[in-house]
A and B are shown apart, each in its own frame.
Chain A
Amino acid sequence: MRGYTERTKRLRHQSVTTQPSISLERALLQTEFYEEHFGTVEMPILRALSFKHYIANRKLYIGDDELIVGEKSEGPQVAPTFPEICAHSVRDMQVMNARQLISFKVKDGDYALQAEKIIPYWKGKSTRDTILDAMAPEWKDAFAAGIFTEFMEQRAPGHTVADDKFYKKGFLDFKQEIEQSIAALDHVNDLEAYEKKTQLEAMAIACDAMVLYGQRYADYARELAAQEKDPERKEELLWIAGNCDVVPAHKPQTFAQAIQMYWFVHVGVTTELNLWDAYSPGKLDQYLNPFYQQEQAEGTINYDKARELLECLWIKFNNQPAPPKVGITLKESATYTDFANINTGGIDPYTGEDGVNDVSYLILDTMDEMKLLQPSSNVQVSEKNPDEFVKRAVEISRKGWGQPAFYNTEELIQELLNAGKTLEDARFGGASGCVETGAHGREAYCLTGYLNVPKIFEITMNNGFDKYTDKQIGLTTGNPVDFESYEELREAFMKQLDYFIDIKIAGNHKIETIFAKYLPSPLMSVVVDGCRQSGKDYNAGGARYNTRYIQIVGIGTMTDTLAAIKYNVFDQQRFTMANLVDAINANFEGHEMTRNLVLNHTPKYGNDDDYADDIMVDVFESVRDKIRGRKAVYGATYQIDMLPTTCHVYFGSVMTASANGRLAGVPLTDGISPEKGADIKGPTAVIRSASKMDHTSTGGTLLNQKFTPASIAGEEGLSNVTSLIRSYFKMMGHHIQFNVIDRAVLLEAQKKPEEYNDLIVRVAGYSDHFNNLEKALQDEIILRTEQGFN
């Protein structure tokens, strides 16, 4: 069993062996509160009071052995639901209960409660209903065809990360500041004063709720201590009570209290709304190190004690499955992982100097021992970091389960500067979710949906017609058989891109307006800079920086598809466009020679071949320039990300064959990785190709590399991988991650899943149990090119 101490062994075992389930406790409390109070107070106040109602009435949980306390619902692996966003149907709940992958068990009586109490109240009122009602027919057509996905359909806007503020102030301090802001409002000259007052009062209530949360836990721990027979545990329970007396009302005084503070905020933020990618601690090593150093000097903590506490926190993350989802929203993120992501290493955000400290190594050791899906642990690699640190991280990474992933500090900072942040704020920047960049604690950077670029090209090839939904959904830009040049084809593609991107953004405007109106998030507004100062909510542009991301999927497939047409049809004239269209329509059956030519004898992305890479850069820049810098409602600015989560599988499943030889239904490329099997010139050629796009003009890119264990074994292998990372980052690559498992092992695991319950692989910006993945995704990982150093 994994675990540094007997305690964490037991806690981890419980976390990884408990079947996720659903609790209706939160949904029932929300419903009863809304039934009584909806319409009697302003929406922000209603939201704050309903959150406080949950905190005041919810069951508390302190497990045997626990040192850090707090769960989102009744216990480990129990997920609350959010009917104000999406009141799942009884059928949805039956599916969640019965499905083989990513299942959530539902208690027998809960179907009736959902049908009789929850659904009748929320029908037509939950934001999912409001959003779908508001969408234009062309949006619905494109959504059904798999042109894009919609993040806010079953979950709230999120991807927001903590900075250091609640290690320096408690929620009573925040409340005092908010009250001062309310007192300072000028109700004569400030025409928004009443609105601001409402928002600020809601934030103050959220602070009260957090203080209450700590008090309730302190009381509960004392109650348990009074009954406890084991004197050692009794003392621990009193110690927990003591910690909860301090946090979250006041700033933490000790290493343990700092961790407990983070965890209370995490639970608060993720139960206020079911926001995407949970909530993340950001540069945790930077924020915890002062507590560790101080306590070490005082002799009240040592490595072992700190390590045990960190492991307790890791287990807490793993106890929280991502909110239950169904349909397309499940397909775009088919995992229990909720993407809380911890940035270790990089720079000290205050000085800009090397940030590697004792807690950085403690975190690496914890990650290595725990080997848990959550939190997603990454390291930031700065030029200023010592090789020793990077090598220790590579040592863990090459064990094969995908953590840590590697992020480039200098490139992250440049991205943030390019997006208009100050250097001071950019230094607090990091990655969250999969690879998304943000200025932690001061930015609302919400992902809005994935964009299926290869599918938009497929629509172009069919003159606007979609074969998946059997419907004309795009513009009529001409039959490609009649195109006389590559430029003509490209022009038609650009028109279709413009058309669908406009549909997506128009939909986003409506959805964001609905969220700002119905689902303000006062607690989140307390912990993100700008909201308390401006009196505006996090969901209404209150943060210091507001960014909306659209995630671009399939650039590898797209590049190779265009290269195949340009090279074979127009340049070499090996066959005509009509031949190619026939071959694609036949899924290449009976067109083996055509497939051989496009698949094996055409320039491909990932080999440092400018013929293909120039096309990649053209597609990248075209899509980026159609999105980047556009305005969203409430003053936010659009940016792009190059990441797929699991959406490349879904997007591939709604498509016919592609001109690059990809067959119908097969997954697209993930992130900015080359097409499976196309990158035959080794890992350094891959990073050279990938670095030809300007990463610093995005909000994050994702590059997967797969190695066989033998190819990176030993001291030499360690050095080679370290050098590969350093080289890629020198070329301003954003992120790189590794899978290191023999193909034979994965094939065997497909045959005998029961023997491989422990097998964890890197998917795309996160790791998951191989057995949790659908077959198409398993196949996709097996087929990724295995690289080696020669």
Chain B
Amino acid sequence: MLYDREKCAICGMCAKLCPQKAIANVNNFMVTDPEKCIFCGECVTYCIPGARQVAGKEYTVEEVLAEVLKDRVFYEESSGGVTLSGGEPLVHIDFVEELLIRLKAEGIHTAVDTCGAIPFEHLERAAQHTDLFLYDLKLTDDAKHKEFTGASNKEIIENLENLARIHANIQMRMPIIEGVNAEVSHIESTIALLEAIDIKEVHLLPYHAIAKHKYAKLGRDYLDDKMQIPSKEKLEHFREMLAEQGYDVKGG
């Protein structure tokens, strides 16, 4: 349940209408008890300023497929397709595998966007059915990786090497964050790492702060003091470094 405090008129309508009595006014902040909320959306419908929103929706494979197929003409005309992303889609490997099989049967191009921090078996199962992997590589330095993500990158790198042996179409996605990894040494070590792996396309994804307002709506703190947007010059330099190695570099 997303809640925009700036839009809220604190009229109390949501609390009054909630069939679960899950909403209460705590110091002029309409707090929703996640234990009680059943996401029925009644409070959303009757919120005049539009301060409440249910994020996400549960779908069956069948429902996702129906939604996707509505745009079939557009995929055909654009040579486009469907990208499964997340969070980490491969956490839900059973669902993902079934959806990929169904999409393939419909002749629709698919891509899986993964962070790689997942048992290899999940990647293996997806690899049999998807046309393309979008594979994130955040940091080559394991210590720093632990510092910023809370986990080691060993599994991620191993998975990448193994995945490349069984799947021919992997695009690297490299977030570039000033204050974290926007350094020449990171690009150099990435190039060294990728040397033995068959990768042709690399995407540079400069950091942005668009998610900031979403954190506020969820009532969560946004840890951005260390993270900054990288300069255009830096990005251009990184792009050139990668292009020199023969990579097709997109984004930046």
Contact = CB atoms under 8 A, between A and B. Distances in A.
7 contacts: A593-B46, A597-B46, A601-B44, A688-B70, A719-B78, A726-B77, A730-B73
A723 B70 contact: no
B79 to A, nearest CB: 8
B48 A596 contact: yes
A529 interface: no
B74 A727 contact: yes
B45 interface: yes
Interface string B158-187: 000000000000000000000000000000
B71 interface: yes
Given A601-B45, A722-B78, A726-B77, 8 more contacts: A593-B46, A597-B45, A600-B50, A688-B70, A719-B78, A723-B74, A727-B73, A730-B77
A724 interface: yes
B86 interface: no
A723 B46 contact: no
Contacts of B44: 601
Interface in B47-77: 47-48, 50, 70-71, 73-74, 76-77
A596 B71 contact: no
B80 interface: yes
A653 interface: no
Contacts of B45: 597, 601
Nearest to B72: A727
Nearest to B41: A601
A749 interface: no
Contacts of B47: 596
Contact of B78 (A592, A593, A688, A720): A720
| Residue of A592, A597, A727 with most partner-chain B CB within 10 A | A727
| Residue of A600, A685, A723, A726 with most partner-chain B CB within 10 A | A723
A684 B48 contact: no
B48 A723 contact: no
Contact of B70 (A601, A608, A719): A608
A236 to B, nearest CB: 48
Contact of B46 (A596, A685, A720): A596
Contact of B48 (A593, A688, A726): A593
Interface string A576-613: 00000000000000001100110011000000100000
Interface of B: 44-48, 50, 70-71, 73-74, 76-78, 80
A600 B44 CA distance: 10
Interface residues of A, number: 19
A601 B44 CA distance: 9
B174 to A, nearest CB: 19
A730 B77 CA distance: 9
Contacts of B77: 722-724, 726-727, 730
Contacts of A684: 70-71, 74
Nearest to A596: B48
A723 B50 CA distance: 34
B201 to A, nearest CB: 14
A731 interface: yes
Given A592-B48, A601-B45, A724 B74 contact: yes
A347 to B, nearest CB: 19
Counting from the closest, the 6 A-B pairs by CB-CB distance are A723-B78, A723-B77, A726-B77, A727-B73, A727-B74, A596-B48
Nearest to B67: A608
Contacts of B80: 723
Contacts of A722: 77-78
A444 to B, nearest CB: 36
Nearest to B44: A601
Interface string A352-393: 000000000000000000000000000000000000000000
A736 B193 CA distance: 48
A730 B70 CA distance: 14
A731 B48 CA distance: 37
B44 to A, nearest CB: 8
A406 B45 CA distance: 39
Contacts of A726: 77
A657 to B, nearest CB: 17
A684 B78 CA distance: 12
Contacts of A596: 46-48, 50
Interface string A610-654: 000000000000000000000000000000000000000000000
Contacts of B74: 684, 723-724, 727
A367 B42 CA distance: 53
Nearest to A728: B73
Contacts of B70: 608, 684-685, 688
Contacts of A731: 73
A730 B76 CA distance: 11
B203 to A, nearest CB: 12
A280 to B, nearest CB: 30
Nearest to A688: B70
Nearest to A592: B48
